[in-house]
Amino acid sequence: MLADVSSALPPALRGAVLPAALALAVAVPVSWVARAAWGLPTALGAGRRRLRPTVTGSPHFSEGRFHNTLPTPVLPPTSARTGLLRQMHDERHVGLPAAPVPVVPAAFPAAAGDLAVTWFGHSSALLEVDGRRVLVDPVWSERVSPSPLVGPRRLHGPPAPIDALPPVDAVLISHDHYDHLDLPTIRALVRGQSAPFVVPTGIGVHLRGWGVPEERIVELSWDDATTVAGLTLTCTEARHFSGRFLARDTTLWASWAIAGPRHRVYFGGDTGYTPAFAGIGARLGPFDLTLLPIGAYNDAWKHMHMTPEEALRAHGDVGGRVLVPVHWATFNLAFHRWAEPVQRLAAGALRSGVQLVVPRPGERVDVLAPPPLADWWSAVGSGNDAPAARPAGPAARTPRARR
């Protein structure tokens, strides 16, 4: 194409225009790569060498990495990998919504309530427990990736600017994956809030490298607890993995129990099903509210992400009263249809009598007076839905919006 354009120019101009065009053709992709890689070393977080002094004393760390209580393979069996690669190629767009995800502009009361939750999407939520506020797994970035230009992108915008958040008493982090630990969000919270970051072992090393003051970092191992503003925050077991680049399991992953004088909340973070839930319920429950992950499941990583049915089982194990699902709707991280996790969850909750609340992103729920379950997700639908494939049950009763 450059040769065609050059041939149409007067000879005197060809010598100047063609080199300039070639330089531009090279400069554009180089510029894009430079922008995509901007800030990568910082966003990746601490490496093994910096982490070693903090993590080697943990009872869950051995042979150079952290371990789950149960064997938890990260990669699928060799026999399944060809199918997974084909799925990644053929079904990478399956998890998109068919219509815009409805977002409620988040509004916050002047004073924190006795028991409430505002869900911002994915695993980010603001908990109100006995007059205190706890922010969990806050992610406000456009992409969950070390790069601003590459990686899973939001399917809906944040329901509120991060600087519109009211003062919070604690920030809880479940693990260091990008969809749960987000560098720009952490930096914004350092500037705009004064709350401590309460994190599993090793994540504090990431935070120190990102400019979080030492006095605002509390690192805990499983079954350790700290008290913040009258709330007891207990680091509890999860079944997952960690890592922000090629190295895996370099920091600990966790779920969290939040106990106030009158109410208790369990935040599952990101986890596969584990018998440890029953022990958590016996020691620290029952819980007035559970936030449990229901999305991004796949047979290839079934030990690390729960299905909706397993989330219902975990809710029962920990002694939960009201269940709010998280880890769905905001990022396309697996190969199931966008609405499938909540459709399966709603059907299972109806069968088992679980009190389920599914807020829209940005919606605040008073857990002491929870609203009846309202199906808003069927009107959004999944991008690859076919009318004949629509599931039966509660999620199928509201007609889907036209595409």
How many Å apart are CA 221 and CA 201, to the nearest integer?
6
Q: Which residue, chain included where needed, has tokens 């009361």? A: 109
Half-sphere CA count of 178, side-chain side, radius 13 A: 22
Q: Which residue, chain included where needed, has tokens 């629509």? A: 390
How many Å apart are CA 162 and CA 130, to the nearest integer?
23
pTM given for the model: 0.86
Edge-to-edge strands of the sheet including 364-366?
Answer: 217-220, 197-200, 170-172, 132-136, 124-129, 115-121, 364-366
Q: Amino acid letter at 23? A: A
Q: Amino acid letter at 356? A: L
Strand, coil or helix: 78: helix
pLDDT in tens, the chain (403 residues): 434 434 444 554 445 554 554 454 555 455 544 454 545 789 999 999 999 999 999 999 999 999 999 999 876 655 444 544 555 555 667 899 999 999 999 999 999 999 999 999 999 999 999 999 999 999 999 999 999 899 999 999 999 999 999 999 999 999 999 999 999 999 999 999 999 999 999 999 999 999 999 999 999 999 999 999 999 999 999 999 999 988 899 999 999 999 999 999 999 999 999 999 999 999 999 999 999 999 999 988 899 999 999 999 999 999 999 999 999 999 999 999 999 999 999 999 999 999 999 999 999 999 999 999 999 999 999 987 754 343 433 333 333 332 2
Using one digit for the tens of pLDDT, what is the confidence trace for 204-233?
999 999 999 999 999 999 999 999 999 999
Q: Are 185 and 139 in contact (CB under 8 A)?
A: yes
Cα→Cα distances 42→142, 187, 390, Å: 18, 12, 44
Q: Are 323 and 292 in contact (CB under 8 A)?
A: yes
Going along the chain from its start, the domains and CATH numbers come out as 115-396 (3.60.15.10)
How many Å apart are CA 9 and CA 15, to the nearest integer?
10
